[in-house]
Protein backbone atom coordinates (compact mmCIF):
# COMPACT_ATOMS: atom_id res chain seq x y z
CA UNK A 1 0.00 0.00 0.00
CA UNK A 2 2.83 2.40 0.88
CA UNK A 3 4.63 1.67 -2.39
CA UNK A 4 1.46 2.43 -4.35
CA UNK A 5 1.07 5.78 -2.59
CA UNK A 6 4.70 6.66 -3.30
CA UNK A 7 4.23 5.67 -6.94
CA UNK A 8 1.12 7.88 -7.12
CA UNK A 9 3.25 10.79 -5.89
CA UNK A 10 6.18 10.29 -8.25
CA UNK A 11 5.11 8.75 -11.55
CA UNK A 12 5.22 9.97 -14.19
CA UNK A 13 5.30 13.73 -13.58
CA UNK A 14 7.98 13.56 -10.88
CA UNK A 15 10.22 11.39 -13.03
CA UNK A 16 9.73 13.79 -15.93
CA UNK A 17 10.76 16.77 -13.81
CA UNK A 18 13.87 14.99 -12.55
CA UNK A 19 14.82 13.93 -16.09
CA UNK A 20 14.31 17.38 -17.63
CA UNK A 21 16.12 19.09 -14.76
CA UNK A 22 19.12 16.81 -15.26
CA UNK A 23 18.96 17.32 -19.03
CA UNK A 24 18.89 21.12 -18.74
CA UNK A 25 21.80 21.05 -16.30
CA UNK A 26 23.79 18.77 -18.60
CA UNK A 27 23.10 20.63 -21.87
CA UNK A 28 23.94 24.03 -20.36
CA UNK A 29 27.64 23.26 -20.89
CA UNK A 30 27.20 22.45 -24.61
CA UNK A 31 27.10 25.50 -26.90
CA UNK A 32 25.74 23.38 -29.77
CA UNK A 33 22.51 22.87 -27.82
CA UNK A 34 21.90 26.62 -27.66
CA UNK A 35 19.26 26.92 -30.45
CA UNK A 36 17.23 24.02 -29.05
CA UNK A 37 17.48 25.36 -25.51
CA UNK A 38 16.29 28.82 -26.61
CA UNK A 39 13.25 27.35 -28.38
CA UNK A 40 12.32 24.97 -25.58
CA UNK A 41 10.39 27.42 -23.31
CA UNK A 42 8.44 28.84 -26.27
CA UNK A 43 7.45 25.37 -27.48
CA UNK A 44 6.26 24.36 -24.01
CA UNK A 45 4.26 27.58 -23.61
CA UNK A 46 2.67 27.24 -27.06
CA UNK A 47 1.73 23.60 -26.43
CA UNK A 48 0.23 24.50 -23.06
CA UNK A 49 -1.80 27.38 -24.49
CA UNK A 50 -3.13 25.18 -27.28
CA UNK A 51 -4.14 22.38 -24.89
CA UNK A 52 -5.68 24.82 -22.45
CA UNK A 53 -7.73 26.45 -25.18
CA UNK A 54 -8.67 23.21 -26.96
CA UNK A 55 -9.76 21.34 -23.82
CA UNK A 56 -10.98 24.40 -21.88
CA UNK A 57 -8.43 23.92 -19.10
CA UNK A 58 -8.45 27.28 -17.37
CA UNK A 59 -6.30 26.05 -14.49
CA UNK A 60 -3.56 24.99 -16.92
CA UNK A 61 -3.54 28.42 -18.59
CA UNK A 62 -3.45 30.21 -15.24
CA UNK A 63 -0.61 28.00 -14.00
CA UNK A 64 1.42 28.58 -17.18
CA UNK A 65 0.77 32.31 -16.88
CA UNK A 66 1.93 32.24 -13.26
CA UNK A 67 5.16 30.49 -14.30
CA UNK A 68 5.71 33.02 -17.11
CA UNK A 69 5.12 35.96 -14.73
CA UNK A 70 7.55 34.47 -12.21
CA UNK A 71 10.17 34.03 -14.92
CA UNK A 72 9.76 37.60 -16.22
CA UNK A 73 9.85 38.98 -12.67
CA UNK A 74 13.20 37.32 -12.00
CA UNK A 75 14.57 38.37 -15.40
CA UNK A 76 13.36 41.96 -15.59
CA UNK A 77 13.28 43.10 -11.95
CA UNK A 78 16.53 41.70 -10.59
CA UNK A 79 18.98 42.82 -13.26
CA UNK A 80 18.17 46.59 -13.10
CA UNK A 81 18.49 46.69 -9.31
CA UNK A 82 21.78 47.95 -7.95
CA UNK A 83 23.91 45.82 -5.69
CA UNK A 84 23.05 48.02 -2.71
CA UNK A 85 19.31 47.84 -3.37
CA UNK A 86 17.05 45.28 -1.71
CA UNK A 87 14.73 45.21 -4.77
CA UNK A 88 16.35 42.07 -6.23
CA UNK A 89 16.17 39.96 -3.05
CA UNK A 90 12.63 41.19 -2.40
CA UNK A 91 11.57 39.99 -5.86
CA UNK A 92 13.11 36.55 -5.30
CA UNK A 93 11.43 36.16 -1.93
CA UNK A 94 8.00 37.22 -3.13
CA UNK A 95 8.16 34.97 -6.20
CA UNK A 96 9.31 32.08 -4.01
CA UNK A 97 6.32 32.76 -1.77
CA UNK A 98 3.55 33.44 -4.30
CA UNK A 99 4.29 30.87 -7.01
CA UNK A 100 3.92 27.66 -4.93
CA UNK A 101 0.93 29.15 -3.12
CA UNK A 102 -0.74 29.97 -6.45
CA UNK A 103 -0.17 26.47 -7.83
CA UNK A 104 -1.49 24.95 -4.60
CA UNK A 105 -4.67 27.02 -4.80
CA UNK A 106 -5.16 26.04 -8.45
CA UNK A 107 -4.86 22.37 -7.50
CA UNK A 108 -7.70 22.67 -4.98
CA UNK A 109 -10.19 24.73 -6.97
CA UNK A 110 -12.57 23.29 -9.55
CA UNK A 111 -12.11 23.65 -13.28
CA UNK A 112 -14.36 26.46 -14.51
CA UNK A 113 -13.18 27.03 -18.09
CA UNK A 114 -11.22 29.84 -19.71
CA UNK A 115 -13.33 32.73 -20.99
CA UNK A 116 -15.92 32.50 -18.23
CA UNK A 117 -16.78 34.94 -15.45
CA UNK A 118 -15.02 32.74 -12.89
CA UNK A 119 -12.02 32.23 -15.15
CA UNK A 120 -11.63 35.95 -15.75
CA UNK A 121 -11.88 36.68 -12.01
CA UNK A 122 -9.13 34.18 -11.34
CA UNK A 123 -7.00 35.79 -14.01
CA UNK A 124 -7.58 39.19 -12.35
CA UNK A 125 -6.43 37.77 -9.00
CA UNK A 126 -3.30 36.42 -10.66
CA UNK A 127 -2.58 39.84 -12.10
CA UNK A 128 -3.06 41.24 -8.60
CA UNK A 129 -0.26 38.98 -7.40
CA UNK A 130 1.97 40.27 -10.20
CA UNK A 131 1.14 43.84 -9.18
CA UNK A 132 2.08 42.96 -5.59
CA UNK A 133 5.52 41.79 -6.72
CA UNK A 134 6.03 45.00 -8.69
CA UNK A 135 4.90 47.14 -5.76
CA UNK A 136 7.27 45.30 -3.42
CA UNK A 137 10.11 45.83 -5.90
CA UNK A 138 9.44 49.58 -5.94
CA UNK A 139 9.06 49.73 -2.16
CA UNK A 140 12.26 47.74 -1.61
CA UNK A 141 14.17 50.27 -3.70
CA UNK A 142 12.82 53.19 -1.68
CA UNK A 143 12.53 51.63 1.81
CA UNK A 144 14.95 48.69 1.75
CA UNK A 145 15.28 48.37 5.52
CA UNK A 146 11.54 48.18 6.15
CA UNK A 147 10.97 45.71 3.32
CA UNK A 148 13.81 43.50 4.51
CA UNK A 149 12.43 43.55 8.03
CA UNK A 150 9.23 41.90 6.74
CA UNK A 151 10.67 39.46 4.21
CA UNK A 152 13.60 38.45 6.42
CA UNK A 153 11.58 38.07 9.61
CA UNK A 154 12.68 35.29 11.97
CA UNK A 155 9.79 32.92 12.52
CA UNK A 156 11.77 30.16 14.21
CA UNK A 157 15.06 30.79 16.01
CA UNK A 158 16.42 27.34 15.21
CA UNK A 159 20.04 27.54 13.96
CA UNK A 160 19.39 25.47 10.84
CA UNK A 161 16.78 28.00 9.63
CA UNK A 162 18.97 31.09 9.82
CA UNK A 163 20.71 30.61 6.47
CA UNK A 164 17.75 30.05 4.16
CA UNK A 165 18.40 31.68 0.75
CA UNK A 166 14.85 33.06 0.44
CA UNK A 167 14.19 33.91 4.09
CA UNK A 168 11.99 32.15 6.60
CA UNK A 169 8.59 33.66 5.59
CA UNK A 170 8.96 32.57 1.95
CA UNK A 171 10.32 29.17 2.98
CA UNK A 172 7.40 28.65 5.37
CA UNK A 173 4.81 29.47 2.70
CA UNK A 174 6.60 27.20 0.22
CA UNK A 175 6.68 24.27 2.66
CA UNK A 176 3.00 24.72 3.53
CA UNK A 177 2.00 24.88 -0.14
CA UNK A 178 4.01 21.82 -1.13
CA UNK A 179 2.80 19.95 1.97
CA UNK A 180 -0.80 20.71 1.00
CA UNK A 181 -0.11 19.48 -2.55
CA UNK A 182 1.45 16.25 -1.24
CA UNK A 183 -1.60 15.63 0.96
CA UNK A 184 -3.92 16.42 -1.95
CA UNK A 185 -2.02 14.01 -4.22
CA UNK A 186 -2.18 11.19 -1.66
CA UNK A 187 -5.89 11.80 -1.11
CA UNK A 188 -6.68 12.25 -4.81
CA UNK A 189 -3.87 10.74 -6.92
CA UNK A 190 -4.88 12.04 -10.35
CA UNK A 191 -2.62 13.43 -13.06
CA UNK A 192 -3.68 17.06 -12.68
CA UNK A 193 -2.94 17.14 -8.94
CA UNK A 194 0.44 15.48 -9.46
CA UNK A 195 1.17 18.01 -12.17
CA UNK A 196 0.59 20.96 -9.83
CA UNK A 197 2.73 19.33 -7.13
CA UNK A 198 5.75 18.78 -9.34
CA UNK A 199 5.31 22.09 -11.14
CA UNK A 200 5.53 23.80 -7.73
CA UNK A 201 8.71 21.88 -6.96
CA UNK A 202 10.07 22.81 -10.39
CA UNK A 203 9.24 26.46 -9.69
CA UNK A 204 11.18 26.29 -6.43
CA UNK A 205 14.17 24.87 -8.34
CA UNK A 206 13.92 27.71 -10.88
CA UNK A 207 13.82 30.40 -8.19
CA UNK A 208 16.77 28.80 -6.40
CA UNK A 209 18.85 28.66 -9.59
CA UNK A 210 18.26 32.32 -10.43
CA UNK A 211 18.09 34.15 -13.75
CA UNK A 212 21.82 34.22 -14.57
CA UNK A 213 22.32 33.07 -18.15
CA UNK A 214 18.62 32.41 -18.59
CA UNK A 215 18.80 29.28 -16.47
CA UNK A 216 15.65 29.97 -14.46
CA UNK A 217 13.65 30.26 -17.70
CA UNK A 218 14.62 26.71 -18.64
CA UNK A 219 13.69 25.37 -15.22
CA UNK A 220 10.36 27.22 -15.33
CA UNK A 221 9.83 25.58 -18.75
CA UNK A 222 10.40 22.19 -17.09
CA UNK A 223 7.61 23.00 -14.63
CA UNK A 224 5.37 24.01 -17.53
CA UNK A 225 6.16 20.78 -19.38
CA UNK A 226 5.06 18.80 -16.32
CA UNK A 227 1.71 20.62 -16.41
CA UNK A 228 1.30 19.97 -20.15
CA UNK A 229 2.05 16.25 -19.79
CA UNK A 230 -0.31 16.02 -16.80
CA UNK A 231 -3.08 17.56 -18.91
CA UNK A 232 -2.52 15.04 -21.70
CA UNK A 233 -2.51 12.19 -19.19
CA UNK A 234 -5.70 13.51 -17.60
CA UNK A 235 -7.40 13.67 -21.02
CA UNK A 236 -6.31 10.08 -21.68
CA UNK A 237 -7.73 8.96 -18.32
CA UNK A 238 -11.04 10.65 -19.08
CA UNK A 239 -11.25 8.87 -22.44
CA UNK A 240 -10.16 5.41 -21.29
CA UNK A 241 -11.15 5.19 -17.62
CA UNK A 242 -14.53 5.23 -15.95
CA UNK A 243 -14.78 8.18 -13.57
CA UNK A 244 -17.16 6.50 -11.11
CA UNK A 245 -15.32 3.21 -10.56
CA UNK A 246 -11.79 4.06 -11.67
CA UNK A 247 -11.68 0.98 -13.91
CA UNK A 248 -10.68 1.14 -17.56
CA UNK A 249 -13.71 1.78 -19.75
CA UNK A 250 -15.22 0.10 -22.79
CA UNK A 251 -12.85 1.83 -25.21
CA UNK A 252 -9.89 0.43 -23.28
CA UNK A 253 -11.46 -3.05 -23.47
CA UNK A 254 -11.89 -2.79 -27.23
CA UNK A 255 -8.23 -1.83 -27.65
CA UNK A 256 -7.10 -4.60 -25.29
CA UNK A 257 -9.05 -7.14 -27.36
CA UNK A 258 -7.15 -6.01 -30.45
CA UNK A 259 -3.83 -6.83 -28.79
CA UNK A 260 -4.56 -10.33 -27.46
CA UNK A 261 -3.40 -13.53 -29.11
CA UNK A 262 -5.66 -16.31 -30.44
CA UNK A 263 -6.36 -17.76 -26.97
CA UNK A 264 -8.23 -15.61 -24.45
CA UNK A 265 -11.39 -15.56 -22.36
CA UNK A 266 -13.89 -12.75 -21.90
CA UNK A 267 -16.23 -12.72 -18.90
CA UNK A 268 -19.26 -10.42 -18.67
CA UNK A 269 -20.27 -9.53 -15.10
CA UNK A 270 -23.65 -8.04 -14.19
CA UNK A 271 -24.90 -6.87 -10.78
CA UNK A 272 -28.05 -8.80 -9.92
CA UNK A 273 -31.33 -6.89 -9.44
CA UNK A 274 -29.49 -3.59 -9.76
CA UNK A 275 -32.42 -1.63 -11.18
CA UNK A 276 -34.64 -2.73 -8.30
CA UNK A 277 -31.86 -1.87 -5.85
CA UNK A 278 -31.48 1.58 -7.43
CA UNK A 279 -35.21 2.25 -7.28
CA UNK A 280 -35.35 1.21 -3.62
CA UNK A 281 -32.29 2.94 -2.18
CA UNK A 282 -31.50 5.68 -4.70
CA UNK A 283 -28.78 6.32 -7.25
CA UNK A 284 -26.19 7.46 -4.69
CA UNK A 285 -26.30 4.09 -2.94
CA UNK A 286 -26.33 2.40 -6.34
CA UNK A 287 -23.10 4.20 -7.20
CA UNK A 288 -21.58 2.93 -3.95
CA UNK A 289 -22.53 -0.62 -4.96
CA UNK A 290 -20.87 -0.20 -8.36
CA UNK A 291 -17.70 1.11 -6.71
CA UNK A 292 -17.67 -1.82 -4.29
CA UNK A 293 -18.09 -4.36 -7.10
CA UNK A 294 -15.43 -2.58 -9.17
CA UNK A 295 -12.99 -2.76 -6.26
CA UNK A 296 -13.53 -6.52 -5.98
CA UNK A 297 -13.17 -6.95 -9.73
CA UNK A 298 -9.92 -4.99 -9.75
CA UNK A 299 -8.46 -7.63 -7.42
CA UNK A 300 -9.16 -10.53 -9.79
CA UNK A 301 -6.21 -12.89 -10.11
CA UNK A 302 -5.20 -15.35 -12.81
CA UNK A 303 -3.94 -12.60 -15.08
CA UNK A 304 -7.42 -11.10 -15.50
CA UNK A 305 -8.10 -7.41 -16.04
CA UNK A 306 -11.41 -5.77 -15.19
CA UNK A 307 -13.25 -3.11 -17.24
CA UNK A 308 -16.43 -1.05 -16.79
CA UNK A 309 -18.57 -2.05 -19.76
CA UNK A 310 -21.57 0.18 -19.12
CA UNK A 311 -24.38 0.61 -16.59
CA UNK A 312 -24.16 -2.19 -14.02
CA UNK A 313 -22.21 -4.41 -16.41
CA UNK A 314 -18.49 -5.12 -16.22
CA UNK A 315 -16.06 -7.22 -18.24
CA UNK A 316 -12.99 -9.25 -17.29
CA UNK A 317 -10.40 -10.20 -19.90
CA UNK A 318 -8.07 -13.18 -19.38
CA UNK A 319 -5.34 -13.11 -22.05
CA UNK A 320 -3.79 -16.50 -22.87
CA UNK A 321 -6.35 -18.30 -20.69
CA UNK A 322 -9.02 -20.79 -21.62
CA UNK A 323 -12.45 -20.90 -19.98
CA UNK A 324 -11.38 -23.88 -17.88
CA UNK A 325 -8.34 -21.94 -16.62
CA UNK A 326 -10.37 -18.79 -15.95
CA UNK A 327 -13.33 -20.47 -14.23
CA UNK A 328 -11.74 -20.87 -10.74
CA UNK A 329 -10.81 -17.19 -10.70
CA UNK A 330 -14.30 -16.17 -11.77
CA UNK A 331 -15.86 -18.32 -9.06
CA UNK A 332 -13.54 -16.74 -6.51
CA UNK A 333 -14.56 -13.33 -7.81
CA UNK A 334 -18.26 -14.15 -7.53
CA UNK A 335 -17.83 -15.34 -3.94
CA UNK A 336 -15.82 -12.27 -2.94
CA UNK A 337 -18.65 -9.99 -4.07
CA UNK A 338 -21.31 -12.12 -2.39
CA UNK A 339 -19.36 -12.30 0.88
CA UNK A 340 -18.73 -8.55 1.02
CA UNK A 341 -20.85 -6.88 3.68
CA UNK A 342 -22.66 -3.85 2.26
CA UNK A 343 -24.39 -1.64 4.80
CA UNK A 344 -27.15 0.75 3.79
CA UNK A 345 -26.76 4.02 5.68
CA UNK A 346 -29.97 5.12 7.36
CA UNK A 347 -31.35 8.59 6.70
CA UNK A 348 -30.82 9.70 10.33
CA UNK A 349 -27.50 7.96 10.84
CA UNK A 350 -24.79 10.37 12.09
CA UNK A 351 -21.76 10.78 9.86
CA UNK A 352 -19.38 10.19 12.78
CA UNK A 353 -19.50 7.18 15.03
CA UNK A 354 -20.83 8.07 18.53
CA UNK A 355 -18.28 7.98 21.31
CA UNK A 356 -20.47 5.69 23.38
CA UNK A 357 -23.64 3.74 22.79
CA UNK A 358 -25.28 2.98 19.51
CA UNK A 359 -26.92 6.35 18.99
CA UNK A 360 -30.14 7.00 17.19
CA UNK A 361 -30.96 6.48 13.57
CA UNK A 362 -28.55 3.65 12.81
CA UNK A 363 -27.96 2.03 9.45
CA UNK A 364 -30.89 0.69 7.52
CA UNK A 365 -29.31 -2.77 7.50
CA UNK A 366 -26.92 -4.96 5.60
CA UNK A 367 -27.74 -6.28 2.15
CA UNK A 368 -26.09 -8.94 0.05
CA UNK A 369 -24.83 -7.93 -3.36
CA UNK A 370 -24.41 -10.68 -5.94
CA UNK A 371 -23.25 -10.82 -9.53
CA UNK A 372 -23.94 -13.14 -12.43
CA UNK A 373 -21.08 -14.00 -14.74
CA UNK A 374 -20.96 -15.34 -18.28
CA UNK A 375 -17.65 -16.35 -19.89
CA UNK A 376 -16.65 -17.28 -23.44
CA UNK A 377 -13.37 -18.41 -24.95
CA UNK A 378 -11.99 -17.36 -28.32
CA UNK A 379 -12.09 -20.18 -30.86
CA UNK A 380 -10.84 -20.62 -34.41
CA UNK A 381 -11.51 -17.46 -36.44
CA UNK A 382 -14.00 -15.91 -34.02
CA UNK A 383 -13.76 -12.13 -33.80
CA UNK A 384 -13.55 -10.28 -30.50
CA UNK A 385 -17.12 -9.07 -31.03
CA UNK A 386 -18.27 -12.68 -31.40
CA UNK A 387 -16.55 -13.66 -28.15
CA UNK A 388 -18.14 -10.77 -26.26
CA UNK A 389 -21.58 -11.69 -27.62
CA UNK A 390 -21.05 -15.33 -26.61
CA UNK A 391 -20.07 -14.22 -23.11
CA UNK A 392 -23.20 -12.04 -23.01
CA UNK A 393 -25.37 -15.05 -23.93
CA UNK A 394 -23.71 -17.06 -21.16
CA UNK A 395 -24.46 -14.18 -18.77
CA UNK A 396 -28.18 -14.33 -19.63
CA UNK A 397 -28.14 -18.08 -19.02
CA UNK A 398 -26.65 -17.43 -15.58
CA UNK A 399 -29.45 -14.98 -14.81
CA UNK A 400 -32.16 -17.34 -16.07
CA UNK A 401 -30.68 -20.15 -13.96
CA UNK A 402 -31.17 -18.16 -10.75
CA UNK A 403 -28.38 -15.51 -10.73
CA UNK A 404 -25.29 -15.42 -8.47
CA UNK A 405 -23.56 -18.02 -10.64
CA UNK A 406 -21.04 -18.46 -13.44
CA UNK A 407 -21.94 -19.88 -16.86
CA UNK A 408 -19.41 -20.61 -19.63
Residue 29 has a CB neighbour count (10 Å cut-off) of 7
Cα 378 from Cα 386, distance rounded (Å): 8
Residue 155 has a CB neighbour count (10 Å cut-off) of 11
Provide the sign of the torsion angle of the four alpha carbons 329, 335, 337, 341, taken in this order: negative
Cβ-Cβ contacts under 8 Å for 127 (sequence gap 6 or more): none
Among residues 312, 313, 331, 400, the one annotated as catalytic is: 312
Among residues 196, 182, 191, the alpha carbon closest in space to that of 60 is found at 196
Concerning whether 312 is annotated as a catalytic residue, the answer is: yes
Cβ-Cβ contacts under 8 Å for 395 (sequence gap 6 or more): 268, 269, 270, 372, 373, 374, 407
Among residues 333, 326, 301, 338, the alpha carbon closest in space to that of 391 is found at 326
Q: Classify burial at 36, counting beta carbons within 10 Å of its beta carbon; exposed 0-12, middle 13-18, buried 19 or more.
A: exposed
Catalogue the long-range contacts made by 136-139 (C-beta closer than 8 Å, 24 or more residues apart): 136/90, 136/91, 136/94, 137/77, 137/81, 137/87, 137/90, 137/91, 138/87, 139/90
313-319 and 406-407 beta bridge pairing: unpaired
Give catalytic residue positions: 312
Amino acid sequence: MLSRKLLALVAPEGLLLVATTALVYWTASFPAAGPVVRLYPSVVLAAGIFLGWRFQRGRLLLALFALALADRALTWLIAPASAASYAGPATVRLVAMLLPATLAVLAFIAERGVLTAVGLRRFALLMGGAALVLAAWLLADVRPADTARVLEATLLPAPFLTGLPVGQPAAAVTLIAIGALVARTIWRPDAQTRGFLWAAIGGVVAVSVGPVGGRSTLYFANAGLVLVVATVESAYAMAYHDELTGLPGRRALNEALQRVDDLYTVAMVDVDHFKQFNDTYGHDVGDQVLRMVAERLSQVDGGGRAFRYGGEEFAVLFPDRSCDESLPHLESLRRSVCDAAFTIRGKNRPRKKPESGRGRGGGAGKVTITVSIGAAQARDAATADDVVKAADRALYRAKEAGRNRVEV
